[in-house]
Amino acid sequence: MISEAGLSFNLIQTERQNHARELVQGLNLSEWDGIITVSGDGVLYEVLNGLLQRPDWEEAVKTPVGILPCGSGNALAGAVNQHGGFEPALGIDLLLNCSLLLCRGGSHPLDLLSVTLASGSRCFSFLSVAWGFVSDVDIQSERFRALGSARFTLGTVLGLATLHTYRGRFSYLPATVEPASPNPAHGLPRAKSELTLAPAPAPAGAHSPLHRSVSDLPLPLPQPALTSPGSPEPLPILSLNGGGPELAGDWGGAGDAPLSPDPLLPSPPGTPKAAQLSPISEGPSEMAASSGLPPPTPGAPVATSAGGPPDHLLPPLGTPLPPDWVTMEGDFVLILAILPSHLGADLVAAPHARFDDGLVHLCWVRSGISRAALLRLFLAMERGNHFSLGCPHLGYAAARAFRLEPLTPRGVLTVDGEQVEYGPLQAQVHPGLGTLLTGPPGCPRREA
């Protein structure tokens, strides 16, 4: 398809972790129109952070980037597929849709998230920051990578069987004014710091079932290098969290052992994800000393970027937050901060998110939810309908910045699926900092 479209390219196969990062740091970007990764989300993470580590990062980060999905999760490709107007797809179908969109041309501003870690190092995210159930499944399922996307299904089952909760403090700078009163559907009023807005459910559509027979797509590359022949939609109307019908008595831990904070969950081996296929290179609370927070995990892999814009919304990590921030503290099953709509090719975590809405979409699940209810949330997430279930443990807020302070000694933190050092972190959205090759919006569906 790329050849028939008349696109000229160089094809480079990466040979090791962070190879893509090194490649883009040495590229003469003026010779190329864009950089495409044939991979999962991990190699694109390397590319973007490599661009932001260059001395000329202000110009380098404007280089259009794109993805042809061949990984396990393929979250960004799922969002590109939806932006292009296609039905949800996996495997070869998703790859063909993204290839067609690439050939049709077109780009879109891409928000990036600057993440400051406990050590003071900084990395940039295009996808998500996760703590708890999501990051546990992501990292602990690495051993099942040979199963492709099925690794997450198996990892989820195992994660539900050994479900943990984590105590932490979560603060954010709201993007909108919060409502003054709670939703009466929830019964007992909630603390003002917990009042959140939830997006309206995705519009119902006649989607054909997702085909799961093709799980992973390792493309055979016989040679390490090949050469070929040359207006935003308005934000959705938001409703109070849990505005859907509440399933009385069905969300708690009935039939399940009560979930309690587990400070003894061991950190998994520090082996971050590294997709094996490579890019096509075309070119208000103060952190007290007695808080019990552990030092950064020794030897944990950290991918940092020295360049990039300053974080004008963030005070130094460990200092008090401004009064316009919202803070909550408690026991959580998961906390997820996500930029695009998709957490995976078939998981729509933030249904109304856009590539350039200038927001980070915060989702969290508090302790007390049953395993069956948590499973229902993730099944509903395949259609982006999880907010309409009315789960009282599920929270949502749209924000411009956030701070996460784990109070449980051990756990797993990930940025774009890559494990980073464990400890407090904070992040800020930089609207439209990058450029994503998306193809035209609302592309007609490809005929079979």
Catalytic residue IDs: 41
Three-point CA angle 434, 3, 219, nearest 5°: 75
Q: What value does the CA radius of gyration of the chain take, rounded to a whole number of Å?
A: 21
Nearest CA among 243, 238, 236 for reference residue 352: 236
Name the pairing type of β-strands 166-174 and 394-406. Answer: antiparallel
DSSP state of 136: H
CA triple 266-270-271, angle to 5 deg: 135
Q: Are 11 and 227 in contact (CB under 8 A)?
A: yes
Spatial distance between the Cα atoms of 145 and 160, rounded to a whole number of angstroms = 19
Distance CA 54, CA 69 (A): 26
Give dist(CA 327, CA 307) in Å, integer: 29
Beta bridge partners of 397: 362
Length of the chain counted residue by residue: 448
Q: Which of the 8 DSSP states describes residue 49?
A: H
157-160 contact pairs (CB < 8 A, 24+): 159/133, 160/371, 160/374, 160/375
Measure the CA angle with vertex 170, ends 166 and 173; round to 5°.
160
- Residue 377 CA to residue 379 CA, distance in Å, equals 5
Q: Which two tokens stand for residue 107?
A: 């780009």
Give the CA distances from residue 226 to residues 11, 157, 279, 282, in Å, rounded to whole numbers and listed in that order.
5, 41, 12, 12
What are 422's two structure tokens?
């464990």
